[in-house]
Structure 1
C-alpha cells in the first residue's frame, strides 16, 4: 500500500487568473456542488409527484439566503477577526476573502427555501426530503476547495494517504511535519456514503414529512464530530472541544428528536388514513345496501 500511495500531493495554487480576473477553485466547487444538488433534488421531487421546475424556483431563494447565513455564522463565531483593536469591521462584508460557516448556510438556506415554498405553493418538508442527499453531494464537492487552498487539514500523520502541505500553509508548531490527515477527503467520502444511505433507506421506507432531511442532519453531524476533532487549524474552544464539535453534537440531538417526531407523525397519518378508508368503505357498503333495498321495493 505504501508503495502505491506514498502521500496525496496538494495543488500549487487554488486560484487561476483569467487576465486580471481571479478564478477560485473554492468558488467553482461551491457552484458545481449547488448545481448537482439542484439536479438531484429536481429528479427526486418530480419522482415523488412534485411539479417540474419547483426545485429551481425555490433554489433561487435558498442559495443567496444560504450564502448570507454562512457569512453571518462565520462572523458571529469568529468576531476576533473583524472587531477590536487593529481590526476593520467592514471586512466582515468581504465575503470574497473567504470565511463561510456550514451551519449558517443550512439555516439561511432553509429560511430562504421556506419563504419560497410558501410563495410557490410547495410543501417545505417535501422539498427538504428531495434535497437531502443532494446537499451531501454538494458539501462533498465543496470540500475540494479546502484541498486546493491547503486549509482545514488534520493532525500530522505518516499514513500512506497523508496530505502534503507546503511549509507556508502549516500552522505554528507543526512546521516540521510534511503530511497531515486529509480531512477534506474524509468528509467527501463520508458525505457521499451518507447520501447513498439516505437514497437506499428512502427507497426501502419511503421517507416523508421531512424524515429524509433529518436523517441527513444526523448523518452529516455524526461525521463532522470526528472529522472536526482531527483538525488543527485555529478555532474557538468551549472546554476541551472546538465550537463546531459542540454545534455538531447539539444539531445531531435536534435531528434525532425531529426524526423521531416526524416518524411518529407519519405513522399517525397512515393510521388516520387507514381509519378514514375503513369508514369510507363501510359507508359505501351501507349505501349499496340501501340502493339494493330501494330496488327491491
Structure 2
C-alpha cells in the first residue's frame, strides 16, 4: 500500500492565488486558455476552408458569452440542491468563479450565439461548426485542468499507480475549504480515480480522431461537429459512471449518464443522415454566390429609392402649390 501511495499523482496545494485583494483562480485561467485555443485553431481551419480571417473571432463574440451563461444555467438546474433549499444561498448560483459549468448547456446555448453571429455574417452554421469542432473539444480538455486544481470531479478510491491524492485544504482562519483553501498537510485523505484526467485524455483523442476523419473523408454539412459530439459523449458516458461527486440522480443514475446517451444517439443519427448532402461545402463558392445576390438586393433598393425620389420630385412640380401666378 505504501508503494501505491508513493506512486500516486499529487494534487496542487491550492487553486487560488491572490494579488493583493484580487483572486487569481486556476479554474478561470484554464477556461480562458481553452477559449483562446478554440478560437485560434478554429480561425486557422476556417481560413483553410475558404473563410475570411477574423470571422471566427466575430462569431466567438456571440458564442462565448452565450456558452458561459448556458453552461452555468445547466449546472445550476441539474445541481440545484447546492444553491436552493434550507440553509442554502441562492446568490451562490451566480458565483461562476467557484466552478460549475455544464458542457451540455454551454454547447447548446453557445450554438444559439454562434447561429446569431453566423446569420449576421451570412455564414452557414454547420460549416462554421465543422471548423470549430476540434478546437472546442481541445478547449474542454484544457478546462479539465481547472478541475485538477479545484480537487473535484474524481471517482472512487483506487490503488492504481495513477490514483489522485486528495488533500484537506484550509483557509488562513482554519476553515476547511476545498476550493479557496491551501493544503498544509500532504498526507492524502483519499486516493481516487482521476476521472477529470480520463476525460482530458479522451477529449484529446477525440480531437485527433475528428481531424483525421475530416481530412480523409472531407466531412461537411456539420458532420465533423456531429462526430465530435458522438465521440465526446461516448467517453463521457463511461467516465460519468465512475464519478462519485454529488449529482442529481434519475432512476439511481447520474443525470449526465442519460444526457450522454441521448445526445450520442442524436449525433450519430445526424452524422448518417447528413451524408446525403454530399461533400464538404465550398465556403469561397458559397460566398461568391451570396455576394452577387446581396449586391443585386442593394442595387434593387437603390433603384427603388431613385424611383421614389423621381416620383416625389414629379409630384412636387405638378402640385398646385408649386404653380405660382405670374
User: Do the aligned partners of 1:154 and 1:230 also contact (CA within 8 Å) in 2?
Assistant: yes
Tell me, what secondary structure is at the counterpart of 2:155? coil
Which residue number in structure 2 is paired with residue 252 of structure 1?
Answer: 264
User: Do the aligned partners of 1:54 and 1:122 also contact (CA within 8 Å) in 2?
Assistant: no
In structure 1, how many angstroms separate the alpha carbons of the residues matched to 2:236 and 2:278? 28
User: Do the aligned partners of 1:156 and 1:177 also contact (CA within 8 Å) in 2?
Assistant: no
In structure 2, how many angstroms separate the alpha carbons of the residues matched to 1:112 and 1:151? 29
In structure 2, how many angstroms separate the alpha carbons of the residues matched to 1:177 and 1:12? 13
Is residue 15 of structure 1 aligned with residue 16 of structure 2? Answer: yes
In structure 2, how many angstroms separate the alpha carbons of the residues matched to 1:158 and 1:90? 39
Is residue 230 of structure 1 aligned with residue 242 of structure 2? Answer: yes
Residues 220-254 of structure 1, C-alpha deviation per residue, up to 9 Å, x if partnerless? 00000111111100111111321011000010011
Tell me, what secondary structure is at the counterpart of 1:179? strand
In structure 2, how many angstroms separate the alpha carbons of the residues matched to 1:158 and 1:247? 30
Residues 81-137 of structure 1, C-alpha deviation per residue, up to 9 Å, x if partnerless? 222333333332232333211101001110000000001111111110000000111
Which residue number in structure 2 is paired with residue 205 of structure 1?
Answer: 217
In structure 2, how many angstroms separate the alpha carbons of the residues matched to 1:200 and 1:96? 35
User: Do the aligned partners of 2:27 and 2:99 also contact (CA within 8 Å) in 1?
Assistant: no
Tell me, what secondary structure is at the counterpart of 1:143? helix
Which residue number in structure 2 is paired with residue 33 of structure 1?
Answer: 34
Q: CA deviation at 1:184?
A: 1.4
Which residue number in structure 2 is paired with residue 277 of structure 1?
Answer: none
Residues 24-80 of structure 1, C-alpha deviation per residue, up to 9 Å, x if partnerless? 000000000000011111111100111111000000110000000011111111222
Is residue 218 of structure 1 aligned with residue 230 of structure 2? Answer: yes
Which residue number in structure 2 is paired with residue 118 of structure 1?
Answer: 119
In structure 2, how many angstroms separate the alpha carbons of the residues matched to 1:88 and 1:160? 39
In structure 2, how many angstroms separate the alpha carbons of the residues matched to 1:141 and 1:55? 20
Q: CA deviation at 1:167?
A: 4.1
Cα RMSD of the aligned pairs, angstroms, is: 2.1
Paired residue for 2:203, among 186, 191, 199?
191
Which residue number in structure 1 is paired with residue 129 of structure 2?
Answer: 128
Runs of 4+ residues deviating >4 angstroms: none
In structure 2, how many angstroms separate the alpha carbons of the residues matched to 1:18 and 1:150? 22
In structure 2, how many angstroms separate the alpha carbons of the residues matched to 1:237 and 1:74? 14
User: Do the aligned partners of 2:28 and 2:97 also contact (CA within 8 Å) in 1?
Assistant: no
State the TM-score, normalized to the length of structure 1. 0.84
User: Do the aligned partners of 1:69 and 1:108 also contact (CA within 8 Å) in 2?
Assistant: yes
Which residue number in structure 2 is paired with residue 285 of structure 1?
Answer: none
In structure 2, how many angstroms separate the alpha carbons of the residues matched to 1:242 and 1:82? 18
- For residues 142-291 of structure 1, the aligned pairs below 5 Å read 142-167=143-168, 178-266=190-278
Unaligned runs of 5+ in 1: 170-175, 270-297
